Amino acid sequence: MTTMKQQHFFSFSLVLFFFLHSTTTLAQPVAAPASPIVPSPPAPVPPALVPAPPAFAPAPAGPTNVTKVLVKASGFSLFIRLLKATSADDQITHQLNDTNNGMTIFAPSDNAFSSLSSGTLNGLNDQQKAALIQFHVIPSYIPITQFQTVSNPLRTNAGDNSRYKYPLNVTSYSTSSVNISTGITNSSVTGTIYTDGQLAIYQVDKVLLPYDLFGVKPPAPAPSPSKPHKKSKAGDSDDDSTTPDDAKVDTSAAVSTVSAMAMQNVVVFIVATASAMFCL
């Protein structure tokens, strides 16, 4: 009896399990149909890269314009006028452009020119004015710190290429004490107007007067005494010129000849007269 109950309970359990399983399965929603796969559009092909044009380097700047620097600094109108009148500004520009030595310029201020004696510049011709301006130009770049080690005399643009033609002598004990001597003028550097590693322009308190133009000239040598004229020997006919002494000698000889002829005539007359009287 007990066994039959257990069998019925087991059968009922199986039926109940099957029923619950079927209900759970039927209660699940029907899966939605899968959406169709839409192909994605192709990625755009990037345009071919066009090489960029080569970048051109900026044109190198030309040499510094000295007159523009001085105009901007102001107070150098007379020096600028002489630079242009003598064409020294063009020569400086070409020199800066054609060489790597650089340049150093000592620029006198208008006050420096006003301290010159009256007529100093008016007494110079065009060539001498050009030499005066070029005397203020050194054909090499000298920083203010190197004036203590430069070798004197400094060669300038004036004259020829000789260091001893239109020379300058510089004495420096520090960057704030630079003195310049020309043999006529003793000047000092009073400030730096411009410097860029190739060109240096320094202000000076006096116009640099070169000894070659303004120095005391030695007196002209006295003329040598004329040599006495040598008397020609008798019979020489190469020199027809006569000196006053020769003329005196010739005159004396002529007088002697005339006297002798007169005496001879007197003697002949006396002899003739005596002969006539004797015949009578």
Which residues partner with 171 through β-bridges?
A: 179
Helices first, then strands: H and E counts in the chain: 8, 6
**Alpha carbons 124 and 267: distance in angstroms, whole number:** 83
Residue 120 has, within 13 A of its CA and on its CB side, a CA count of 15
Can you tell me whether residue 190 is helix, strand or coil? strand
> Exposed, middle or buried by CB within 10 Å (0-12, 13-18, 19+), for 163?
middle
Nearest residue to 194 via CA among 64, 60, 62, 63: 64
pLDDT digits (tens, 9 = 90+) for 122-163: 989 999 999 999 999 999 999 999 999 999 999 999 977 666
Beta sheet of 137-138, edge-to-edge order? 137-138, 103-108, 199-204, 186-195, 177-181, 169-174
Tokens representing 121? 């510049």
Nearest residue to 208 via CA among 142, 138, 160, 150: 138
Q: What single-letter amino acid sits at 222?
A: A
Q: Are strands 186-195 and 199-204 parallel, antiparallel or unpaired?
A: antiparallel
Q: What is the pTM of this model?
A: 0.58
pLDDT digits (tens, 9 = 90+) for 227-272: 655 555 555 544 444 444 444 444 454 445 545 565 666 555 565 5
Nearest residue to 180 via CA among 205, 163, 200: 205
pLDDT digits (tens, 9 = 90+) for 36-80: 565 666 666 555 555 555 555 554 566 789 999 999 999 999 999
Q: Give the pLDDT score at 255.
A: 46
Weakest-pLDDT range from 83-87, 220-224, 258-262? 258-262
Q: Using alpha carbons, list the distances in angstroms from residue 20 to 12, 15, 24, 26.
A: 12, 9, 6, 10
Q: Write phi, then psi, for 187 (nearest 5 degrees).
A: -125, 165
Tokens representing 243? 């000196």
